[in-house]
Structure 1
Amino acid sequence: MMNEETRIEVHPLTETPTQAWEEISKTTRVIKINYKSPRTENLDPKKVRVVCMSDTHSLNHYFKFEIPDGDIFIHAGDFTAGGKLDEVLAFNDWIGRLPHKYKLVIAGNHELYFDPSFREIMSPNTNGRTKHNSGLINKIPFLGQSGDASSTAAAPKMREYLTNCIYLEDSGVELYGIKFWGSPWQPEFGPWAFGVKRGQELLNKWNLIPTDTDILITHSPPLGFNDKTAKGDHAGCAELLSTIQKRVKPKYSIFGHVHDAYGVMADGRTVFINATTCDINYLPNNPPVVFDIEIKKNMDDEELKEEVVDVKVEERRSWCSIM
């Protein structure tokens, strides 16, 4: 239960984010950072290196850059084009070959069949009819791939195929004493996964984020920070920004979703990273964003050998320490 002083309210202009930002920006500090990737490896034993990507859309084979080495790899969603099983398996194989000790992944709106409510489109009800208009399946853009969803819809619990990473969905994990929280939700738009209405419904998702989160991973950007589209509109969530700035206050907010707004910004307390790999044309041109963060818990060599496969990530405001 949140204290009254930390309770976040729905912004009155939440349905019109660009207008909401015009008001919020008057009292919000915005620092634009000219990001440059570190050219040397991390030699500080008191820090770990974090490598961030998002929105790769099954285009891993077209990267024109190397994935920097590090201790923790983060993918902030949309790792597939349409959430099909073969895409998930290919991503799992790719991420399994990365050298990073820990790999954290959340879903995005393109991971259609990670969202149970979306899978229900192909699930007949007691009357033998689908819950939604079955024609919807054929209207979903799959980035040039087949829209045949039947095989994927039949696959139970798609997240179970991600065996080479830690999948977070309204859940957290602690590494090196640093607390991470992952959430796939974003403002509703079109027939995509993990989309909910702006306002209280979306705020209910952000209320699950624990106040002691150090690194927050969401697919949606917060309002005003690396969320501006090519048309000049803001697409981020006002309640996510309020949650970050007023209640949680993480060191880093990592996200993707808006391909037009790759880059790094800050407000003086939190560093905001839009790590989307694909640009507005769905070309994977943006390299990973890398940063070093001080560890909170020192480990000896034996502790560092602990296997991730034995970890069970606790959901719903619970932390699981794997160190």
Structure 2
Amino acid sequence: MRLAVTADLHGFLPDVPPCDVLVIAGDLTPAHDHDVAFQARWLDTTFRAWLQAVPAEHVVAIAGNHDFVFERAPETVPTDLPWTYLQDTGTTIDGVRFWGSPWQPWFFDWAFNAPKGDTDETFLRERFAVVPDDTDVLVVHGPPAGYGDRTSTGMSVGSAAQLDLVRRTAAQLCVFGHIHEGRGDWQLGPTRLINASAVTLKYALVDEPVQLVELSRPD
């Protein structure tokens, strides 16, 4: 299975190479306007047209910490977009099992934050507990601890609960973003970890905002 993966589009809608599944790991909407009515209109117009044109058989996506409309006014998100939106839910495509979750440790006063002061990550562990052990692709917004999680100030802000999730499921792939300057690609046992942020720290589009990944289908 050929996947095209990206994250942190922030309103940029880049060219997508032909693929079986396009995976978007959150922060879809433009960064300059967090108004939920604006975000809902943008999803229904500009984003819809882009989704309809991408050369992907399927699109799987989650929200991110800038996508307030999915948390604060989910009833206004168009229900007929040509994609599969995951929010603590999963889907199976050609035998490959995807699971998506938008939550991350508290990070400023943005969307899909765990409670501030939840140092044991109890909130996140409760949400990740329902992820099936046989998940093939994890689509999450923030990074697991130690992988693409270092900010420009030198702080590591990844989630220990998410790292435990990666180890438990031994998924083939974990796609995330959130920390733009942490963009990169790692291997942790059987799991390929990709911080697929499409923009830089200053919200400029990177040279290759969509990456191709070949994934083996389960027997």
Same fold (TM over 0.5): yes
One-letter amino acid of the counterpart of residue 53, structure 2? R
**Which residue of the other structure, out of 88, 99, 106, is the alignment partner of 2:43?**
88
Paired with 2:188 and 2:81, the residues of 1 have a C-alpha distance of 36
**Which residue of the other structure, out of 172, 194, 199, is the alignment partner of 1:278?**
199
Paired with 1:86 and 1:238, the residues of 2 have a C-alpha distance of 36
Q: Are the counterparts in 1 of residues 43 and 78 from structure 2 also a CA contact under 8 Å?
A: no
Q: Which runs of 5+ in 1 are unaligned?
A: 1-47, 120-152, 298-323
Specify the SS of the correspondent of 2:19.
coil
Q: Check if 1:104 corresponds to 2:60.
A: yes
Which residue of structure 2 lines up, in the alignment, with residue 17 of structure 1? none
Cα distance per residue 1:130-186 (max 9 Å; x no partner):
xxxxxxxxxxxxxxxxxxxxxxx5xx6234345111111111011111100000101
The alignment-based identity, stated in percent, is 33
State which structure, 1 or 2, has the greater radius of gyration over its C-alpha atoms: 1
Q: Check if 1:73 corresponds to 2:22.
A: yes
Q: Check if 1:256 corresponds to 2:211.
A: no
Paired with 1:95 and 1:250, the residues of 2 have a C-alpha distance of 26
One-letter amino acid of the counterpart of residue 71, structure 1? D
One-letter amino acid of the counterpart of residue 282, structure 1? Y
Q: Are the counterparts in 1 of residues 5 and 22 from structure 2 also a CA contact under 8 Å?
A: yes
Specify the SS of the correspondent of 2:9.
coil
User: How is 1:13-32 mapped onto 2 (pairs within 5 angstroms)?
Assistant: none
One-letter amino acid of the counterpart of residue 135, structure 2? T
State the TM-score, normalizing by the size of structure 2: 0.89
Q: Check if 1:184 corresponds to 2:105.
A: no
Q: Are the counterparts in 2 of residues 92 and 161 from structure 1 also a CA contact under 8 Å?
A: no
Cα distance per residue 1:64-115 (max 9 Å; x no partner):
xx32111110010000033522221221221121010000010111110211
Cα distance per residue 1:262-311 (max 9 Å; x no partner):
111112221100111011000111421211112236xxxxxxxxxxxxxx
Report the RMSD for the aligned CA atoms in angstroms. Answer: 1.6
Q: Are the counterparts in 2 of residues 88 and 161 from structure 1 also a CA contact under 8 Å?
A: no
Q: Check if 1:165 corresponds to 2:83.
A: yes
Runs of 4+ in 1 over 4 A off after TM superposition: none
Q: Which runs of 5+ in 2 are unaligned?
A: none
One-letter amino acid of the counterpart of residue 94, structure 2? Y
Deviation at 1:200, TM superposition (A): 0.5
The structure in which a higher percent of residues are strand is 2
Q: How many residues align?
A: 207
Deviation at 1:202, TM superposition (A): 1.5
